[in-house]
């Protein structure tokens, strides 16, 4: 696997919201899904994900996800 260069951008998107159940991944209400942000690499997305997830730790149904959007743009890019 090739390492990305310092100037390469690997788009990651962080979203989240309340799930229907704690053991699933279906959102309770798609109109209330929160867009946390778009980030140029996994490390930045992870910081945003962790910050937002920790802020909602009291709600067992809240979940935030990192979407590897760069894989949707180009499935051959497999790096984080």
Q: Which domains does the chain have, with CATH numbers?
A: 12-73 (3.30.70.2400)
Residue pLDDT, tens place only, 31-79: 999 999 999 999 999 999 999 999 999 999 999 999 999 888 776 655 5
| Per-residue pLDDT, 2 | 47
The size of the chain, in residues, is 80
CA distances for 35 relative to 1, 7, 17, angstroms: 30, 25, 9
Evaluate if pTM is beyond 0.85. no
DSSP string, the chain: -PPPPTT----EEEEEEEBSSTT---BS-GGG-EEEEEESSHHHHHHHHHHHHHHTTT-TTEEEEEE-HHHHH-TT----
């Amino acid at each position: 696997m090739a390492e990305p260069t310092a100037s390469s951008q690997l788009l990651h998107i962080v979203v989240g919201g309340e799930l229907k159940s704690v053991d699933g991944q279906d959102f309770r209400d798609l109109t209330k899904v929160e867009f946390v942000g778009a980030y140029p690499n996994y490390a930045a997305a992870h910081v945003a994900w962790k910050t937002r997830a920790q802020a909602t730790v009291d709600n067992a149904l809240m979940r935030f996800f990192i979407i590897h959007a760069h894989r949707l743009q180009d499935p051959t890019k497999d790096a984080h």
